[in-house]
Structures are given as C-alpha cells and as structure tokens.
Amino acid sequence: MEATPSYLHGGRGLISGVKEILGRPRIVMILRDPVDRLWSAYTFQRSMMHLPGIETFDAYVAACSDQRRQGLLERRNIQASGYLKGLAIGFYAEYVGDWLDSFADDVRIVFFDELASQPDGLLANLCRWLGIDVAPVGAFDYTARNPTIHPRSMAMARAVYAVKDRFGAAVARSPRLRSTLRAAYLKLNKGSIDESLRPSTRAHLVDLYRESNLAVADMLAARGYELTPWLARA
C-alpha cells in the first residue's frame, strides 16, 4: 500500500501515469466537507509557519482565491501553488470524475465523517472490498496520530523550525533524542489557536463549493453511493 493525498488532484497526466505503470491498482479516496478541510489546511499550514504575512483564516481564503483567479491553480500548475492551494483542492468535481472514469470499480470513495465516527466499520468494509482479512481491524488502535500542534509563541515556533531545518536529519537518526526534544518543545510551547471559523465565512465557502458539491453528489449517486450529509444537502 502507498498513500499520497496530492495524487488525488494531480490531473489527468498523473492519472494516466498511474494507470500505465500500475495497471489496475485499487484506489481509495477520502473526501471531507471542503469547508472543514480548508479550515484544517489553514490551521496546519499556520502551525508549520508556512503562511508568513497571513494572520487570519479570512486572509488565507483571500490569498487562495487570488491565486485561483490568476490561473495559478490550473491542474498542470496546482503543485506550484505552494501553501495556497487549500481552496482549490476542495473543488472535488474538477478531478474526482477523472479517477472514476479511468478506474471505474477499482476506485472506492469514502467519507471523512465515517472515518472519524466509525473507523473500524469503514476499514472492515474496505478490507472486504480489497479481498483481504478483516480480522485484524478489531485490534487496531484508532487514536489520532500527529495532531496539529498550535504554538503558544509563534516566535519560538519559527526559531525551532529554523533549527529543525538545519539539524532535523541528524536528530531523526536518534528516535530517543527526537522524542525527548519534541516533548520538551510541547511542554514549553504547546498552546491553542486563538481563532475560529466565522459563520459568515463558512456561509461564503458553502456557497463557493455548492456547484462542485452538487456535481460530485450526482456522479456518486449515479454509482450507487449513499451520500454523506454535506453532499446530500448540497
């Protein structure tokens, strides 16, 4: 198995390459409400110090929208848009259909909602679809791994990431040292995000994604999928 989320929005050239090299792989796509996915992308990129000069979610949405308007987020350029492609990725109708057309029944769409609420049931169904043993699923630990850590001090976070860029490879060779340093950093600088998704911004994004969501709902319903709530109400 191999997992690379950016394959999903890589365009028809990437899809053709996967088909040419791998023949008939089984492909699993996880779709999340694009508004919630965008907020998650923002908080992650913010915590990683990837958004200099962008202080709020509204400013992030505006910057992403500006790149999209300039045509920098066309399929052939989407990887070049850096950390401002979060908005574009949520227009699932622009690329999900290409995967379904190319791989048909070898593609399975699942929804983040179900993954979050019933991970064991979802994985069991995927195992059955893949024709592999379902038994181990019940023993899995479904605790979230690597949650986004919001820094208490952005200045300290920037300094730590600068050191990490320089010495990260050396530290990675010593898991115990890496674990000790991470624990020390979290004790000193773990905080919480002092911002929330404003209702007016959510409403704007829901409107922005509505046409795309309707198209995805139609293509999935035609293939017999039971729609998740955020698609069913599109």
pLDDT in tens, 68-103: 888 654 544 444 457 899 999 999 999 999 999 999
Hey, what are 51's tokens? Answer: 């958004």
The single residue listed with the structure tokens 């929005």 is 9
Cα separation, 10 vs 96, whole angstroms: 11
Average pLDDT, the chain: 90
The pLDDT tens digits for 157-206 are 888 888 888 888 888 889 888 889 888 988 888 888 889 999 999 999 99
Q: How much is the pLDDT for 192?
A: 84
Nearest to 210 by CA among 49, 10, 34, 6: 34
* Burial tier of 9 (Cβ tally within 10 Å: 0-12, 13-18, 19+): buried
Give percent of the chain above pLDDT 70.
95
pTM here is: 0.86
d(CA 201, CA 56): 12
Q: Which two tokens stand for residue 62?
A: 């505006």
